């Protein structure tokens, strides 16, 4: 229990890091670390079974290795190092992130959960991670940061999924990971197209495409 | 029933064979007219055989649609609406042979005939239907066919606009009717109409208001008349005659049928209908005075006459609230008789206006002039219709308006009661009649008297027999009702009995309304007119004929010195400036030798152009601004919407 809680606290700290950091490479790496940490959760919660081991291995591969590696490659290809001009500044984002995290801790108490889930940090962490991902999506301009935001969002959903992985079949989990993979592919193509068409990765230019 | 159903199908599908004919030839137009005639005769025979028997005809067939059944029921109330319908449909079909021949209109001739048949059949079905689903189906077929009739000449932008406004208006009304029938359903258990006089009035205010909105929209009661002027002006004349003469009456039919279902009527229903009728009548005729387009003018007269019909209905409703059988009999007889009369004389007016338009090629009254010499028959027909619509004896408009006058005076027999206020309907009716007279003096004077204002008017020709014969038929029907109103007495009495139940059993129309005296004085008046006319003709046989009509003492009178449509009505329009807001373009002349000046006036619709169009424009501007703000292409903003939605949902659905 102690270990689980410290992992979840680490996840929250990583959320804050991504919200406050401008360096894309560091952000990708730290999100990879977050994915790897989360991969430990199924084993922590359900013990060492075939199901939980498979889940952990899959999560580690996708969240910890493959997707970060693809993102790092993308960064090298389009030669971007920093998120230069976010829509909302880094400090305000960080403050907002803190507020939403505190909010989720308060909010989780009101949720009609079973008693086993009321203790521990699972639900508030999951919500905080989801909202951090959203915050990243809203406040950043670069397509790569947006992909990171999606990743963090998926991590939040994964924490929820861990709680339910016994109630829900493996297929759902796989579905989540596949969703993510498809998302990354789509974003990769989009990024490629954006940088080819507009010579930049700022999604702001996309508004020129609206009707 | 075989006759009725067969006739219905014949009329409804009259235009279908034409679809298989070549578009550049006659297009099966004669066959379509023949089918329509045969169908009308069949239904007429069915009505006659029904009235010979019990006076009612009822058949119900099962239908697989939930809540629906094919319930047909023919009662005197429906017959009052069916009779003018049959005459107008048949005369219009013949008139269309020469007015809209397929050879001259290969692009839309077949479409016009198809939808002319469909709308006629749908209206007959609607009058027979006794089930909510069947009624609404017929209503929708009628509404959609009406749209296609209006947009016959859909290559003109103005026609498309009129059709679009009509489509919006009719569907808004239908929406209210759907709600109405759904609300009516639970109290009866099925969507079949309940028997007359069985529903409790408590809690039915919403039903009444929905009915007033939905049916009033179709009838063209004043604030809801927005679609009517444009639509009647845009359709071909015999289609306008059908729309104005019959289709808008289905709204009145709906109101009459709906109110017949209730056991008692709250007093405010009657007052509301009475007030709406007064507003429609006065503003309708005032707007008509200000028009220069002959068909728009006639369309506003439809609004006016719907107002008169609503006055009659309002008086009848008040009679039921205050338990006054005499009021019910007079009000409803006047209402129903005016439905018949307005159908006949308005169709006559539209057909004769169509004959003028056909000859001159314009709808502007100011392009006519002196047509009486070139089109004596058309002119006589138009004069007949004008006398009828102004409510002058000896034609039919007088009889029905006289009944409504009598009804409003009956209200005075209850001193001290609030009902006495209903007597105000009489001066309103008098005002409407006077203004209508002024309006038709204007139209007849400008269009048929004086000298031709354009070369087209100078080269006008008389309408062919196929166009004149339907008009003569309608005029004969108008004169018949005017001279022999007693022939309709039985039918009206039965219809009032159907509507009001046993309350009016002891009161005969004849005992409260001196129909015989009306008939007698009408004959005398006709005789007087004929004698006077003969005397004048005889005494003027030696008078010189080469003088211009509008001499006015000028040495060299020119055609342009004649009164125009706007100058003739100017005085009266100024009196109604508060509701009309006419726009005037051009200046007054100044100095001794003024330069050339132009002047024109234009009166937009009081509701559509002054209120609805600006309101909708502001609404659409607001929505565009909102959309530009919401839908601004920023991905971050879209994601913010997602998260706000998630948060709202979470907070809403967390106990």
| B627, B630, B639, best to mutate vs chain A, most A CBs in 10 Å | B639
The pLDDT value recorded for residue B172 is 94
pTM of this structure: 0.80
Question: What residues of B are in contact with residue A112 (Cβ under 8 Å)?
Answer: 654-655
Q: For residues B20 and A201, which has the higher predicted lDDT (pLDDT)? A: B20
Alpha carbon of B627: minimum distance to chain A alpha carbons (Å): 11
Rg (CA), chain A: 17
Question: Which residues of chain B does A113 touch, with a Cβ-Cβ cutoff of 8 Å?
Answer: none
Q: How far is B352 from chain A (nearest CA, A)?
A: 52
pLDDT band of residue A207 (cuts 50, 70, 90) is: low
Looking at residue B595, what DSSP letter applies? P
Q: What backbone phi and psi angles, to 5 degrees, belong to B280?
A: -60, -45
Ramachandran angles phi, psi of B174, nearest 5°: -65, -35
Question: What are the Cα distances from residue B247, in Å, to A5, B82, B141, B476?
Answer: 77, 11, 12, 22
pLDDT tens, residue by residue, A146-181 = 788 888 888 888 888 777 766 666 655 665 666 666
Identify each DSSP E strand in B457-598 by its residue range. Answer: 583-586
- Note whether B636 contacts A140, CB cutoff 8 Å: yes
Least confident of A114-118, A182-186, B598-602, B621-625: A182-186
Residue extents of the structural domains in chain A: 2-199
Contact assignment for A138 to B634 by CB distance below 8 Å? no
Average pLDDT, chain B: 88
pLDDT over 60 at A211, yes or no: no
Q: Place B510 in a pLDDT band, splitting at 50, 70 and 90.
A: low
Residue of chain A minimizing CA distance to B638: A138
Give the pLDDT of residue B439: 94
How far from the centroid of its chain's Cα atoms is residue B102's Cα? 27
Task: For residues B477 and B473, give the distance between their C-alpha atoms in angstroms, rounded to a whole number.
Answer: 6
Measured from the Cβ of residue A172, the count of other Cβ atoms closer than 10 Å reads 12
* A137: closest CA of chain B, how far (Å): 6
Least confident of B17-26, B90-99, B214-223, B389-398: B17-26
Q: Which of A138, A190, A201, A207 to mutate to test the interface with B (most CBs of B within 10 A)?
A: A138
Question: Does residue B74 have a cis peptide bond before it, meaning omega lies within 30 degrees of 0?
Answer: no
Q: Which of residues 624-653 of B touch A (CB under 8 A)?
A: 631-637, 639-640, 642-643, 650
A182: burial class by Cβ within 10 Å (0-12, 13-18, 19+)? exposed
CA-nearest residue to B633 within chain A is A207
Label residue B342 by pLDDT band (50, 70, 90): very high
Least Cα distance to B603 among B576, B639, B564 occurs for B576
Tell me phi and psi for residue B108, to 5 degrees.
-130, 5
**Among A107, A137, A207, beta carbon nearest to B632:** A207
Q: What band does B551 get if pLDDT is binned at 50, 70 and 90?
A: low
Supply angle C-alpha B64, B68, B70, rounded to 5.
85
The arithmetic mean of pLDDT across residues A42-64, rounded, is: 82
> For A138, which of B633, B639, B655 is closest by C-beta distance?
B639
pLDDT digits (tens, 9 = 90+) for B379-426: 999 999 999 999 888 898 999 999 999 999 888 887 777 788 888 899
Task: Give contacts of B635 with chain A, Cβ < 8 Å.
Answer: 137, 146, 203, 206
Please tell me the predicted confidence (pLDDT) of residue B639. 78
Closest by alpha carbon to B457, among B383, B532, B366? B366
User: Which is more confident, B436 or A76?
Assistant: B436
* Nearest chain A CA: its distance from B653 CA (Å): 10
- Write down the pLDDT at residue B549: 57
Nearest to B499 by CA among B257, B192, B298: B257
- Let me know how long chain A is: 211
What is the reported pLDDT for B583? 81
Among candidates B631, B635, B640 on the partner chain, residue whose Cβ is nearest the Cβ of A203: B635
Query: What was the pLDDT predicted at B188?
Result: 62
Tens of pLDDT, residues B442-495: 999 999 988 888 888 888 889 899 999 999 999 999 999 999 888 888 888 888
Cβ burial of B339 (10 Å; 0-12, 13-18, 19+) is buried
Return the SS3 of B464. coil
Asked whether the beta carbons of residue B654 and residue A138 sit closer than 8 angstroms, the reply is: no
Of A131, A138, A206, which is closest to B633 when you measure between CB atoms? A206
Inter-chain Cβ pairs, chain A and chain B, closer than 8 A: 37
Can you give the pLDDT at residue A38?
87
With beta carbons under 8 A apart, name residues in chain A contacting B643.
131, 134, 138
φ and ψ of B56, to 5 deg: -135, 155
pLDDT at A173: 64
Among the partner-chain residues B631, B637, B654, the one whose CB lies closest to the CB of A111 is B654
- What's the pLDDT at A158? 83
Specify whether the CB–CB gap between A149 and A134 falls below 8 A. Answer: yes
One-character DSSP codes across B62-76: E-SSTT-EEEEEE-H
A210 vs B633, B642, B654: nearest CB: B633
Cβ(B318)–Cβ(B412) below 8 Å: no
What per-residue confidence (pLDDT) applies to A174?
66
d(C-alpha A150, C-alpha A146), whole Å:
6
Instruction: Find the mean pLDDT for residues B618-633.
Output: 90
The pLDDT score that the predictor gives to residue B591 is 81
- How distant is the Cα of A206 from the closest Cα of chain B, in angstroms? 7
* B639/A137 touch (CB, cutoff 8 Å), yes or no: yes
Interface test with A, best of B643, B645, B646, B653 (most A CBs within 10 A): B643
* Model pLDDT, residue B17: 85
> For an interface test with A, which of B624, B629, B636 has the most A Cβ atoms less than 10 Å from its Cβ?
B636
A 126-155: CB under 8 A from B: 131, 134, 137-141, 146
The whole-angstrom separation of Cα B650 and Cα A176 is: 21
Confidence category of residue B212, pLDDT binned at 50, 70, 90: very high
Which of chain A's residues have a Cβ under 8 Å away from the Cβ of B655? Answer: 110, 112
Least confident segment among A117-126, B40-49, B107-116: A117-126
User: B622 to chain A nearest CA, in Å?
Assistant: 18
Please tell me the predicted confidence (pLDDT) of residue A170: 64
How far, in Å, CA of B571 to CA of B576, rounded?
9
Q: What SS3 class is residue B59?
A: strand
Q: Mean pLDDT throughout B558-584?
A: 82
What's residue A176's pLDDT? Answer: 62
Q: How confident is the model at residue B508 (pLDDT cuts 50, 70, 90)?
A: low
pLDDT band (50, 70, 90) for residue B509: low
Per-residue tokens: A181:
């993979």
Count of C-beta atoms within a 10 Å radius of residue B389: 28
pLDDT of residue A179: 61
Chain A residue numbers with beta carbons less than 8 Å from the beta carbon of B634 are 204, 207
Percent of chain B with pLDDT over 90: 48
CA distances from A84 to A142, A197, B635 (A): 9, 20, 18
- Say what the pLDDT of residue A89 is: 84
CA nearest to A87 within chain B: B636
Task: Give the pairing type, strands B69-74 and B583-586.
Answer: unpaired
**Where does residue B594 fall: left (phi above 0), alpha (psi -120 to 50 degrees), or beta otherwise?**
beta
Which is higher by pLDDT, B412 or A10?
Answer: A10
Q: Could you tell me the CA-to-CA distances from B223 to B161, B249, B307, B514, B651 in Å, in that order? A: 19, 17, 11, 35, 44
Decide: B150 and B243 in contact? Cβ < 8 Å. Answer: yes
C-alpha triplet A170, A173, A175: angle, nearest 5°: 110
Cα–Cα nearest to A136, from A8, A77, A69, A128: A128
Report the chain B residue with the minimal C-alpha distance to residue A86: B636
Q: What is the pLDDT of residue A185?
A: 61
Confidence (pLDDT) at A168: 66
**Which chain A residue has its CA at the smallest distance from B647's CA?**
A131
Q: Residue B569 and residue B572: Cα distance in Å, rounded?
A: 6
Q: What is the pLDDT of residue B500?
A: 84
Of the residues A129, A137, A205, the best mutation for testing chain B's interface (the one with the most B CB atoms within 10 Å of its CB) is A137
CB A139 to CB B631 under 8 A?
A: no
- Name the H helices within B322-423: 325-360, 371-374, 376-389, 396-410
Scan for tokens 């002119």, then name that residue. Answer: B379
Query: Which own/partner contact pairs does B612-616 have at CB distance under 8 Å and 24+ positions apart?
Result: B612/B226
Give the pLDDT band (50/70/90) at residue B376.
very high
The answer to whether B356 touches B294, Cβ cutoff 8 Å, is yes
3-state DSSP percent of chain B in helix, strand and coil, to 5:
70, 5, 25
Measure the CA–CA gap between B417 and B405, rounded to whole angstroms.
19
Q: Of all helices (H) and strands (E), which one includes residue B60?
A: strand B57-62
Lowest mean pLDDT among B78-82, B486-490, B528-532: B486-490
Average pLDDT of span A45-52 = 81
Would the CB atoms of A137 and B636 count as touching at under 8 Å?
yes
Judged by a CB distance cut-off of 8 A, whether residue A37 touches chain B is: no
Per-position DSSP letters for chain A, written without gaps between them: -HHHHHHHHHHHHHHHHHHH--BHHHHHHHHHHHHHHHHHHHHHHH-S-HHHHHHHHHHIIIIIIIHHHHHHHHHHHHT--B--S-SS-HHHHHHHHHHHHHHHHHHHTTS---HHHHSSSHHHHHHHHHHHHHHHHHH--BHHHHHHHHHHHHHHHHHHHHHHTTTS-HHHHHHHHHHHHHHHHHHHHHHHHHHHHHSS-BGGGGGGG--
């Amino acid at each position: 229990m102690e270990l689980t809680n410290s992992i979840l606290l680490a996840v929250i700290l990583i959320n804050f890091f991504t919200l406050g950091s401008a360096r894309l490479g560091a952000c990708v790496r730290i999100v990879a670390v977050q994915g790897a940490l989360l991969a430990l959760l199924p084993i922590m919660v359900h013990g060492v079974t075939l199901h939980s081991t498979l889940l952990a291995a899959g999560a580690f591969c996708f969240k910890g290795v493959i997707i970060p590696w693809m993102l790092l490659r993308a960064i090298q290809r389009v030669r971007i190092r920093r998120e230069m001009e976010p829509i909302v500044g880094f400090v305000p984002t960080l403050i907002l992130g803190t507020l939403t995290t505190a909010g989720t801790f308060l909010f989780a108490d009101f949720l009609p959960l079973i008693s086993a889930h009321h203790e521990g940090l699972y639900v508030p962490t999951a919500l905080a991670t989801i909202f951090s991902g959203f915050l990243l999506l809203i406040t950043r301009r670069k397509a790569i940061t947006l992909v990171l935001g999606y990743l963090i969002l998926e991590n939040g959903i994964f924490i929820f999924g861990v709680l339910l992985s016994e109630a829900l079949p493996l297929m759902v989990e796989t579905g989540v990971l596949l969703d993510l993979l498809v998302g990354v592919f789509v974003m990769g193509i989009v990024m490629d197209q954006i940088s080819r068409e507009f010579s930049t990765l700022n999604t702001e230019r996309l508004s020129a495409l609206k009707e | 029933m075989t006759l009725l159903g067969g006739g219905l199908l014949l009329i409804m599908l009259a235009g279908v064979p034409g679809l298989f004919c070549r578009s550049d030839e006659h297009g099966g137009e004669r066959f379509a007219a023949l089918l329509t005639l045969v169908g009308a005769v069949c239904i007429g025979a069915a009505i006659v055989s029904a009235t010979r028997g019990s006076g009612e005809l009822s058949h119900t067939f099962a239908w697989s649609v939930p809540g629906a059944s094919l319930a047909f029921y023919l009662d005197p109330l429906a017959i009052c609406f069916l009779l003018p319908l049959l005459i107008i449909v048949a005369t219009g079909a013949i008139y269309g042979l020469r007015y809209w021949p397929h050879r001259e209109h290969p692009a839309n001739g077949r479409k016009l005939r198809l939808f002319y048949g469909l709308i006629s059949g749908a209206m007959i079905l609607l009058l027979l239907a006794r089930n909510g689903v069947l009624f609404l189906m017929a209503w929708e077929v009628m509404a959609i066919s009406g749209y296609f009739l209006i947009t016959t000449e859909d290559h003109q932008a103005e026609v498309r606009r009129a059709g679009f406004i009509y489509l919006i208006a009719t569907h808004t009304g239908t929406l209210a009717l759907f709600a109405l029938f759904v609300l009516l359903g639970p109290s009866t258990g099925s969507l079949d109409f309940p028997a007359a006089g069985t529903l409790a009035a408590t809690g039915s205010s919403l039903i009444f208001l929905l009915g007033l909105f939905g049916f009033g929209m179709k009838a063209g009661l004043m604030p809801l008349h927005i679609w009517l002027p444009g639509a009647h002006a845009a359709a071909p004349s015999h289609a306008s005659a059908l729309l104005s003469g019959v289709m808008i009456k289905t709204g009145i039919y709906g109101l009459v049928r709906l109110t017949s279902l209730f056991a008692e009527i709250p007093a405010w229903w009657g007052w509301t209908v009475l007030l709406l009728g007064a507003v429609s009548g006065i503003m309708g005729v005032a707007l008509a005075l200000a028009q220069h387009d002959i068909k728009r003018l006639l369309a506003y007269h439809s609004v006016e006459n719907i107002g008169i019909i609503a006055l009659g209905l309002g008086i009848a409703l008040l009679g039921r609230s205050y338990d006054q059988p005499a009021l019910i009999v007079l009000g409803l007889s006047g209402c129903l008789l005016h439905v018949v009369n307005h159908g006949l004389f308005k169709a006559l007016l539209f057909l004769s206006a169509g004959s003028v338009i056909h000859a001159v090629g314009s709808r502007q009254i100011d392009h006519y002039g002196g047509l009486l010499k070139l089109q004596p028959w058309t002119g006589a027909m138009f004069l007949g219709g004008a006398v009828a619509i102004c409510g002058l004896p000896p034609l039919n408009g007088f009889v029905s308006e006289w009944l409504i006058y009598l009804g409003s005076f009956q209200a005075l027999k209850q001193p001290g009661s609030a009902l006495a206020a209903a007597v105000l309907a009489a001066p309103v009716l008098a005002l409407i009649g006077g203004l209508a007279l002024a309006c038709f003096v204007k139209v007849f004077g400008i269009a048929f008297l004086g000298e031709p204002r354009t070369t087209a008017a100078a080269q006008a020709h008389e309408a062919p027999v196929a166009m004149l014969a339907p008009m003569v038929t309608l005029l004969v029907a108008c004169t018949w009702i005017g001279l022999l109103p007693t022939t309709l007495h039985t039918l009206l009495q039965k219809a009032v009995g159907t509507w009001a139940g046993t309350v009016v059993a002891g009161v005969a129309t004849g005992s409260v309304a001196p129909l015989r005296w009306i008939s007698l004085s009408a004959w005398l008046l006709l005789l007087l007119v004929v004698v006077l006319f003969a005397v004048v003709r005889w005494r003027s046989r030696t008078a010189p004929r080469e003088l211009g009509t509008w001499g006015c003492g000028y040495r060299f009178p020119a055609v342009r010195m004649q009164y125009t449509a706007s100058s003739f009505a100017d005085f009266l329009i100024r009196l109604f400036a508060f509701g009309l807001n006419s726009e005037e373009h051009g200046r007054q002349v100044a100095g001794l030798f003024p330069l050339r000046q132009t002047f024109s006036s234009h009166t937009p619709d009081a509701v559509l152009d002054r209120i609805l169009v600006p309101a909708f424009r502001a609404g659409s501007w607001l929505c565009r601004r909102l959309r530009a703000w919401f839908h601004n292409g920023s991905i971050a903003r879209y994601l913010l919407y997602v998260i706000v939605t998630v948060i709202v949902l979470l907070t809403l659905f967390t106990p």
